[in-house]
Amino acid sequence: MLKFNFEEQLKNTINNFAKSKGIEEQISFVVEIPPKNINADLALNAAMIIAKKVRTNPRIIATELIEIISKEFANTIKSAEIAGAGFINLHFTDEFLQQELNKILSKKQDYAKQENVNKDKIMVEFVSANPTGPLHIGHGRGAAIGDSLSRILKHLGYNVVKEYYLNDVGNQMNVLGESTKTRYRQLKGEDIPFLEDGYKGEYIKDIAQDLINEGKKFEEIDFKKESHTRILETIKKDLEQFRVNFDSWFSESKIASDKDENGKTQVDNVCQYLKEKGDAFEQDGALWLKSTLYGDDKDRVLRRTDGRYTYLASDVAYHKNKYEREFAQVINLWGADHHGYVARIMAAIQMLGQKKEALKVILYQLVSLVRNGQPVAMSTRSGEFITLKDVLDEVGTDACRFFFLLRAPDSQLEFDLELAKKQTSENPVFYVQYVNARCQSILKDYKEDSSTANLSLLSTKEEKDLIKKLISFEDTLLICDKTKSPHHLTTYLIETADIYHRFYEKCRVLGEDKELEKARIQLLKAVSIIITVGLDLLGVSAPNKM
């Protein structure tokens, strides 16, 4: 409970002060955790904003605000001073820090869960890779981001559903079936060429060989169905190994092939709806979406001249289906190569009667692999990519997930395979996990009851820095929610590990004065809680022994 909650508490106080100065509108000010070189717990710019509106010296306004804040928040704020042109720096009381530390110790795994959060349903749709081959590492990054974001949102109290959209209709599935059929015939000894546009990966040969080994007769095999089923099983196994479980698997065939009592699919119906509404029009035998009405650079085809629907038409129907299932917000995770697709789908949902805020699209950059400082080739001549399973088997799930979450989704990510395997402090996931293991090692050796500890004995800079970092966990999760990016939590855990290791070097836990020993044991318990919960929200384990 640092920046976000305190900002909320300050709103009334500062806006009442602004009214006394003749300012009727709400003041939009910022509370921030200052840089490390600034000796303060929080800083706010409210005085500078108010001073600009009433045309006076910000330091004069800051002096008046400090007096009010010091009185109204006496239990929380120990001292405040003016910095620079009119910033106000705030320092927390020791009692406040102890109170928040006790909150962690009492709530344990429920710490930072929100009680008054909106309970409307949120869908997070991610991965959604075509079931035409195994997941590659790009899919892995999307899976890590989507799953961790969902875990964080659930922890904050949101009603979250994780969905995988299966693109299981269309020409790609026909090509998949024909690819397997051709490999089957080749493996049976037929001298026939492979499809020019077929799927060339070794996994196609493996599926064909399995069908042969199972004794299935050529004329009895539905190659498209068999290929789809087996690839989907592989995808689900890889995701399970990656600790990603979906609440819902939604098939494109449900909207593109299944027909209602009038013989119409959901795609038929949504296109008819848009046409009747005037948001779609016929031209040259094709049906077009008027996406330029909502900021797209050109109108888009929904139905081709030959009568086949485009992928966009299915996607519009799919989003209509999402909102019909009463999701108040839909979050889509797409690869950065879908950047040009955002405007058209955003236009479509507004045509369906939704506000822009009802859809959030997160674009994530792909991953480059390095080994010993050298780039690793991402694909072979046959077009096979390095799979997610390849990386999982080499570095493990913990390192894989943590590394995928080291950067914001829209940042390029370089994945160092050798670093991810190191059992040293150079490896960020090992560095963080080791904090919990070290805490648990000490706690295991402590045989006394520390529940009556006097937390006011935690008075050194290292102890206070650690407490402040622990109680900013809630803020970190709220930032992840606001930005829809879990990388803030990864950064937070690394920074917490830094501060913990400084504390560990300076502050002996066992063998000190008994009362101080109790207090430090309680601090270690709080550290273990935050590290364990934080890692779990990233889908990473927190071993008690390393």
CATH number reported for the structural domain that contains residue 524 in this entry: 1.10.730.10
Identify the domain boundary among 48, 67, 92.
Answer: 92
Residue 403 resides in a domain = yes
Contacts of 319 (CB under 8 A, 6+ apart): 330, 345, 348, 349, 352, 359
pLDDT band at residue 481 under the 50/70/90 scheme: very high
In a domain, residue 222? The reply is no
Examine the domain organization and report whether 275 and 357 are in the same domain. yes
Q: Do residues 22 and 87 both lie within one domain?
A: yes
* Domain-terminating residue out of 364, 388, 406: 364
In this prediction, residue 27 carries a pLDDT of 86
Residue 62 lies in a domain: yes
User: Do 415 and 472 belong together in one domain?
Assistant: no
Tell me the pLDDT of the chain averaged across its residues.
94
Number of domains present in the structure of the chain:
4
Within-domain flag for 168:
no
* Domain match, 486 and 532 both: yes
- Radius of gyration, CA atoms only, the chain: 28
Same domain, 322 and 354: yes
Q: Among residues 92, 126, 161, which one ends one of the domains? A: 92
Partnered with residue 205 across adjacent β-strands are none
Q: Residue 121: left if φ>0, alpha if ψ -120 to 50, beta else—which one?
A: beta
> CATH number for the domain including 289?
3.40.50.620
β-bridge mates for residue 165, sequence order: 250
Over the stretch 501-528, which tens digit does the pLDDT of each residue have? 999 999 999 887 899 999 999 999 999 9
Half-sphere exposure (CA, 13 Å, Cβ side) for 291? 23
Q: Give the single-character DSSP code of 300.
A: E
User: Are 428 and 411 members of one domain?
Assistant: no
pTM, to two decimals: 0.94
Convert the pLDDT of each residue in 527-536 to its tens digit. 999 999 999 9
Q: What is the pLDDT at residue 206?
A: 96
Count of all residues that appear for the chain in the document: 546
227-276, pLDDT tens digit by residue?
A: 999 999 999 999 999 999 999 999 999 999 999 999 999 999 999 999 99
User: Would you say residue 544 lies in a domain?
Assistant: no
Taken in order 516, 520, 525, 526, the sign of the CA dihedral is positive
pLDDT in tens, 360-404: 999 999 899 999 889 998 765 566 678 999 999 999 999 999 999
pLDDT tens figures, 1-60: 566 677 788 888 999 999 999 998 988 888 888 888 888 999 999 999 999 999 999 999
Task: Find the range with the poorest average confidence among 206-210, 421-425, 448-452.
Answer: 448-452
Does residue 398 share a domain with residue 316? no
Provide the token pair at 3: 């920046």
Query: Are residue 357 and residue 432 in the same domain, yes or no?
Result: no
The boundaries of the domain holding residue 388 are: 367-421
* Helix 94-107 and helix 514-537, axial crossing angle in degrees, nearest 10: 60
417 and 433 co-located in one domain:
no
Place of tokens 């009334």: 12
